[in-house]
Amino acid sequence: MIQTYTSIFRRYSDARPGLKLLSVEDAALPVSLLRTDVLIQDRRSLPAIDEFLLRFTATGVDTIDDVAKYMGLPHDLLLDAAVRQTSAGNLTRQDSTRFTLTAQGMAFNRDLTATQPEIKEIAFVFDRLAWQPVAYPQSTLMRRREATQRGLTLVPAAATAAIGVNDIKIADLNRIVPGRRSTILRVNRLAGRRHLWAPAKLLVFGDSSSQELELAVYVDDEISVAHESALQTTAAAGQLHMAVARPPFIPDPRFGMNATPDAGQSDVLSIEHLDYLLEAVLHSRRRLLIASQSARGDVVNETFCRYLRDRARTGTSVVIIIAEESRVEQSAAERLRRLSRTTPNITVSYANLSGTSYLISDDVTIETTFDWLSGGRTGSEYSWSAGRRTQSSTYTSEAEARLRR
C-alpha cells in the first residue's frame, strides 16, 4: 500500500491548481452487476458499404450510379468499394457500367443474408457514481460488509433510483464487453442486478487557507475523468463529512531537547512522509520506532506487518507506540497484537504523545503532525502535514529514551 501511495503522491501532488494532495484513501465505488438481454449480431469483417453493394447487385441494382442513388452516398465511395470487391473475387464487370456477382460473390452474399441478429444474455458492471457501464473485473467486486470490514471509504452513488434500460448506452456496452466478435444493437431488458462495491483510490485535495476540498477517483492507474462531475454533483466530500485543516508543527514541550551542533535538521513536507516511512520499514538496521496518534487497517495491513517482521528478524529493535487504543481500528489492533506476541524484537504499547507523531530510524528522528499509521488522516479531517527531520545519534537516542518511558 505504501508504494502505491507514494507513487500516486509523486504523480498527482500538484494535479489541482491551488490545492495540495493531502491523502490517498482506499475506497469502494458503488456498482451493480447487471444481467441483460441484448440484441446482438456477429461483426462483419466486410465494410458496410461493400456489404450493401453486394446485396444491391444481387437484387439487380447493378450500376454504381443506381446504388449511389439508393444509398445516398458519393459515387467515388461506391466505386472504391467495387474495386475492392472485384479484387476480392466477389464482383466482375459485365460492361463499362454494370457489375455482376461471381459464384464466390453469390455464396458470400448468401452467408451475409443468413446472418441475423439474435438475443443473448450478457453480464457487465454498471458504475453507480459515474452512472455508466464500466470494465471493472467482476472478480474484484465485493459486498458492502466486506468493504466495511476492510476499512474502505464508501463513496456515495450519483442516484438512488433503479437503473433502467435507457441508462445503458449501446456505445458504452460495445466498448467494455471484451473479446466479442459481435456488435450489441439494442438492450431489450434487465434480467437481474446485484448491488456491490468496486475497489478504487480516493484522492483528497485541499487548501488550508480557503478550507477548499476536492476529491478525485483513481482507477485503472489514473484519475478518472468520468467521475469528476459526479463527485461534484453528489457533494461527496460533504456526504463523507470530510474537512481540511492545517495543524501547525509544534515540537513536543516535554522533550525540551536541542539538536547538537553537528545535527542535520530539515523540514519535512507532507508529500515526503510516506517516502520516509517506507524507507524506515524497509531499511532500518538498529532501531525503528513509530509513534502515531492512531492506526488504520489499510495502513497496518499484512504487507506492512511483514516488513516489520523482516526488520525484527534481522535484529532491528522495532517499537510501535500509539496515543490511544480507542483510535486503533480493530483489524490494525489484531495485527499489532499478533506481531508483538509472535515476533521477538517487536514491542507495541500505548502512551500520551501530546499531538506529535514520531518516526525514528537508526540515527534519524522525524517529529511531525503526520499520523504515520493512519496515512496522515485523523478522523475525517485532512491536513497538509508539517514536520522536522533531525539526523543525530545523540538526539535520536534521547528522543527514543523519552518516548519509551
How many other C-beta atoms are found inside a 10 Å radius of the C-beta of residue 125?
Answer: 21
C-alpha–C-alpha distance, residues 342 and 303, integer Å: 16
Number of helical (H) and strand (E) elements in the chain, helices listed first:
13, 19
Report the pLDDT value the prediction gives residue 1, as an integer from 0 to 100: 55
Report the pLDDT value the prediction gives residue 60, as an integer from 0 to 100: 87
C-alpha–C-alpha distance, residues 92 and 348, integer Å: 86
Q: Which helix (H) or strand (E) holds 7?
A: helix 2-12
What are the pLDDT tens digits along the chain (405 aa)?
A: 555 667 887 788 888 888 888 888 889 999 999 999 988 877 666 777 788 888 888 888 888 888 888 878 788 888 898 899 999 999 998 887 888 999 998 988 887 766 667 888 889 999 999 999 999 999 999 999 999 888 788 999 988 888 999 999 988 888 887 656 677 888 888 888 899 999 999 998 887 667 788 899 999 889 998 898 888 877 777 787 777 765 555 555 445 455 554 557 888 877 788 889 999 999 999 999 999 999 988 889 899 999 999 999 999 999 999 998 888 989 899 999 999 999 999 999 998 887 789 999 999 999 988 889 987 665 555 666 678 899 999 999 999 998 887
CA torsion through residues 40, 41, 42, 47, sign: negative
DSSP letter string, 25-64: EEEEEEEEEEEEEEEEEEPPSS-HHHHHHHHHHHTT--BH
- For the whole prediction, is pTM greater than 0.75? no
Report the pLDDT value the prediction gives residue 288, as an integer from 0 to 100: 97
Report the pLDDT value the prediction gives residue 136, as an integer from 0 to 100: 93
Q: Which three cell numbers stand for residue 187?
A: 438492450
C-alpha–C-alpha distance, residues 294 and 320, integer Å: 11
Radius of gyration (C-alpha) of the chain in whole angstroms: 31
C-alpha–C-alpha distance, residues 294 and 324, integer Å: 7
- Pairing state of beta strands 317-322 and 287-292? parallel
Report the pLDDT value the prediction gives residue 141, as an integer from 0 to 100: 96
How many other C-beta atoms are found inside a 10 Å radius of the C-beta of residue 16?
Answer: 17
What is the per-residue burial (b if ≥16 Cβ within 10 Å, else e) of 289-325? bbbbbbbbbbbbbeebbebbbebbeeebbbbbbbbee
Report the pLDDT value the prediction gives residue 304, as an integer from 0 to 100: 93
The H-assigned helical ranges of 199-328 are 228-233, 236-239, 273-283, 302-313
Please state which CATH class domain 253-404 belongs to.
alpha beta
Report the pLDDT value the prediction gives residue 376, as an integer from 0 to 100: 66
Fold classification of 47-111 is Arc Repressor Mutant, subunit A (1.10.10)
Report the pLDDT value the prediction gives residue 45, as an integer from 0 to 100: 66
Is residue 132 within 8 A of residue 31, CB to CB? The reply is no
Is residue 270 within 8 A of residue 384, CB to CB? The reply is yes
* Residue ranges covered by each domain of the chain: 1-39+118-242, 47-111, 253-404
Is residue 184 within 8 A of residue 119, CB to CB? The reply is no
Q: Do the domains at 47-111 and 253-404 have one common CATH topology?
A: no
